[in-house]
Amino acid sequence: MVRMTPRQAVAVVPSVPRWAVRAAHLCALVALPTGVWRLLLATGHSAGYTAEGYAAMDFTGGGTVYLIGLSVVSEVVALLALGLVRPWGEVLPRWVPVLGGRTLPRLAVVVPAGLGALALTVLWTPLLAWWSLPHDDLTAGGRLVVGLLYLPLIAWGPLLAAVTVSYNRRRRAAGR
């Protein structure tokens, strides 16, 4: 049995453009600041909320579970962009039950990734208006910090779209 190091595994997909690898890593990074902020809220820090605003949000009990879950799910989804530039995004690892070792159909990856990119773009682009809207439940500093923490999310959809187009082109060319 031949064991591959992570460096060797990357070499299996030599035609991945360097910019696409960087963009895929950025997808994972843009979701991180808001996740950390939510985790602060879940641990009882006001994280920029006024005392009244924090109490009104009720981040106790189920709210804490929601914040932690949302942070974890967001980061896991963001990390999936790496599959568009890594071998496991083309061939499922052998350890995956039943399907391990099988080549993923190109459209089974491209369609969900493309729809995800569209959804993320629609969801986060309105954040461009953050500073023009009132945020009475946040302190002045909190408004600035929260706005800056959420601002990178605006890039998530376009980054994912670019990496998805690169993946599609590469896989389509390999299939010819």
pLDDT tens per residue across span 117-166:
999 999 999 999 998 988 889 999 999 999 999 999 999 999 999 999 99
For the four alpha carbons of 41, 45, 49 and 52, in that order, the dihedral sign comes to positive
**Residue from 151, 149, 152 nearest 41 by CA:** 149
Q: Report which of residues 169 and 14 the model is more confident about.
A: 169
| Average pLDDT, integer, range 14-42 | 93
- pLDDT score recorded for residue 60: 81
10, pLDDT greater than 50: no
What is the pTM for the complete model shown?
A: 0.85
Both tokens of residue 25? 């890593």
> Which residue carries 């080549």 as its tokens?
103
Q: What CA–CA distance (Å, rounded) separates 121 from 27?
A: 12
Q: For residue 59, what is the DSSP state? A: -
DSSP string, 11-23: HTSTTS-HHHHHH
Comparing CA positions, the residue from 99, 54, 90 lying closest to residue 166 is 90
Please report the pLDDT score of residue 176 as a whole number.
66
The Cα 39–Cα 17 span in angstroms is: 34
Rounded to an integer, what distance in angstroms lies between the CA atom of residue 130 and that of residue 34?
15
**What is the predicted pLDDT for the residue at 3?**
52
User: 54-93: per-residue pLDDT in tens?
Assistant: 888 888 888 899 999 999 999 999 999 999 999 989 988 8
> What is the pLDDT, as a whole number, of residue 69?
95
Instruction: Look up residue 6 and give its two tokens.
Output: 């992570």
Domain segments of the chain as ranges: 17-170
More confident residue, 159 or 176: 159
